Structure 1
Amino acid sequence: MTQSHTSTPLPQAPLGHGPVVSRLALGTMTFGAETDEADAHAQLDAFVAAGGTMVDTADVYAGGESERIVGRWLADRRADVVLATKGRFAPPAGSAGASRSALVRAVDSSLGRLGVDAVDLYLVHGWDPLTPVEETLDTLSTLVRAGKIKHLGWSNVTGWQLQRIVTTARLGGFVPPCVVQPQYNLLDRGIELEVMPCCLEEELALTPWSPLGGGWLTGKYTREQRPSGATRLGEDPGRGVEAYDTRNTDRTWRILDALTQVAQSYDRPLSHVAIAWLLARPGVASVLLGARTLEQFLGTLGAAHLELRPSDLELLTAVSAPGLPPYPYGMIQDTCGVEHWRALGTATTAPA
């Protein structure tokens, strides 16, 4: 295989109307859980040395330890990074996750753990059905005016939720989000139904998490043998959205066969091709990379400099097309001439 990383600085892109960031971002969910502090700091050092700027964490990662680890590294490196964190899933007693009391406490707690006066990007980690979105946006806007937050985003929302957030912000005079952070990869293209079209319409950037599908798109799993050993699915085969029995399907293996074919033609790891495909998708500004070890992390950085041939992009897009449910999406496309699903390479009917 060719060299896994390069001295060429990582390319940059704007987060919608927000800051300019590196097109590969460092996700820190493993810090303090699967990755100890020394290895975490080594990843951060390598990332900045490669020209990386966006570091993403959250208050719930390892019970706040991820933020503390990042904060101790940041002590003399604050100017080197665009710092993002998230809150929503650890509200105080008697309040909902995105309520005023929860967010004020969450932001102040995150700033304390990170050891900073402000974060460049604060994301609400998911929709809160118990709190009016006006309250959430008013609270976040107040925190922006107080100088504790510079830009806003959301993670893990549906299309209607995202549109309501954006419209409420516009009509209410609140600070609008500039970015959405969803799961998105060759195996899970569900955001193309509603979330991505909304982002493109409203000029919001996308920063996908799980670009390698929880390890599936590295080629380390096989259809003949269930995973075992020191891998995510080896230790927990039922883990989250990437569970082995959930993704062990004919579609998954068709995608992996095509991914292998393309990767071999470039003499690159499968991971590089999977990330390069994602970086070429509409609206994607930066892709979150997370790894247990420095070696794993360095092995993905070279993906930023891989530009796939149009024919290879078309092959991967076609083989991974999730399909449109016949109603209402297929009918709308057929009768109203809606082009965004065609442009995204999403099939007109649901797959068999």
Structure 2
Amino acid sequence: MEFRYLGRSGFRVPVLALGTATFAGSSEFFKHWGRTDVAEARRLVDICLEHGACMFDSADVYSNGGSEAVLGEAIKGRPRDRLIISTKATFRFGEGENEVGSSRHHLLRSVEGSLRRLGTDYIDLFQLHGFDARTPQEEVLSTLDTLVRAGKIRYLGVSNFSGWHLMKALATADRHGWTRYVAHQAYYSLIGRDYEWELMPLAIDQGIGTVVWSPLGWGRLTGKIGRGRPLPETSRLQSQRVADSGPPVAPDYLYAVVDALEQVAAETGKTVPQVALNWLLQRPTVSSVIIGARNEEQLRQNLAAVGWNLDADQLARLDAVSERPRPYPYWHQRSFAHRNPPPV
């Protein structure tokens, strides 16, 4: 397994990490993702560790804490220093007025709850699941800095921030000498390349490592969806609520990308998801890609996305078919490319 630095930090992470949104499946929303129990989770963790994929990502809202609890049981008894545990908080977790957001009250409670469910005394990477415009950045960053100094968190990250959200937070941390974010868990896929417009250049400039979520386009690049094919019965997209909560994708655009993926997959002897994952691993700023799996077969297939690379021609064809018109001011900046060079 290849390891990369997590942004401009000295911490190295595997290029593939196991996402645990499929663990537990005890809520109405997450049951459509999967219902992995403790025994199954232990087996998936075993397989990941056999392949060197020692990073496991969760969040308090996944099955209302159920995912973290199952992960905690699955890693119990294993050497803690051989594992990298990441989790997230900010979204509502409880009915009280203060059980949501990134306030000092909510973050302190969230971290303590995650530590308890995970059965550990520290979190390797703690990420804000979304931006909270209601809480001053000084309150957010000072609270997180305190948790880092207390040894409960090792590294800080965010998720789903816009460029100005992240830059404002970094400037606040720099101004006060507080711990900086080094990671951004962001949606990025062959059918979702908005990340490249502003967040990727920002990550290069500020030393932020990207941890990619939903690299298969919200379950659309599994190789089971294509022209004239019915939606698989096991697809999370069978749930209208789940489909509506994910990134929208026009059918014609999706099928064009899938056609190109299938062609490259045939050339390389790989699967469609393996090609899609490998393409991501060759993009700038990507430190790690979070893979999900309902079962052992899916996990082993996804883990086989490393150890080889698409060639330049294959990358160029996938780039071309998945390219989308850029909104202002990004299309205008392209006309001034010698002063606004694209990420490399």
TM-score normalised by L of structure 2: 0.92
Q: What secondary structure is seen at the aligned counterpart in 2 of 1:123? A: strand
Matched AA of 1:324: R
Q: How many residues align?
A: 331
Distance 2:223 2:297 in 1: 17
Give CA deviations for 1:212-240 in whole Å, capped at 9, x if unaligned: 11221122113324415222123448624
Residue number in structure 1 paired with 2:43 = 42
Structure 1 contact 18–151 (Cα < 8 Å) conserved: no
Distance 1:128 1:18 in 2: 28
Distance 1:108 1:293 in 2: 30
The question of 1:129 aligning with 2:121 is answered no
Q: CA deviation at 1:118?
A: 0.7
Distance 2:255 2:74 in 1: 40
1:86 to 82, 85, 88: 88
Residue number in structure 1 paired with 2:30 = none
**Range with bigger deviation, 232-241 or 176-185:** 232-241
TM-score normalised by L of structure 1: 0.90
Residue number in structure 2 paired with 1:292 = 294
Cα distance change on mapping 1:238 and 1:14 into 2, 3 Å: closer
Structure 1 contact 87–123 (Cα < 8 Å) conserved: yes
Residue number in structure 1 paired with 2:22 = 30
**What RMSD, in angstroms, separates the aligned Cα atoms of the two structures?**
1.7
The question of 1:54 aligning with 2:60 is answered no
Distance 1:336 1:274 in 2: 28
Q: CA deviation at 1:308?
A: 0.8
Structure 2 contact 226–258 (Cα < 8 Å) conserved: no
Structure 2 contact 104–143 (Cα < 8 Å) conserved: yes
Q: What secondary structure is seen at the aligned counterpart in 2 of 1:84? A: strand
Residue number in structure 2 paired with 1:110 = 114
Matched AA of 2:146: T
Structure 1 segments unaligned to the other structure (5+ residues): 1-9, 345-352
Higher helix share: 1
Structure 2 contact 24–70 (Cα < 8 Å) conserved: yes
Q: CA deviation at 1:335?
A: 3.9
Residue number in structure 2 paired with 1:14 = 5
Distance 2:270 2:232 in 1: 25
Structure 1 contact 229–235 (Cα < 8 Å) conserved: no
Structure 1 contact 67–110 (Cα < 8 Å) conserved: yes
Matched AA of 1:286: S
The question of 1:153 aligning with 2:157 is answered yes
Distance 1:340 1:28 in 2: 37
Structure 2 segments unaligned to the other structure (5+ residues): 26-33
Structure 2 contact 224–232 (Cα < 8 Å) conserved: no
Q: CA deviation at 1:280?
A: 0.2
Q: CA deviation at 1:141?
A: 0.2
Q: CA deviation at 1:51?
A: 0.9
Q: What secondary structure is seen at the aligned counterpart in 2 of 1:29? A: coil
Residue number in structure 2 paired with 1:247 = 249
Matched AA of 1:14: Y
Identical amino acids, percent of aligned pairs: 39
Structure 1 contact 258–315 (Cα < 8 Å) conserved: yes
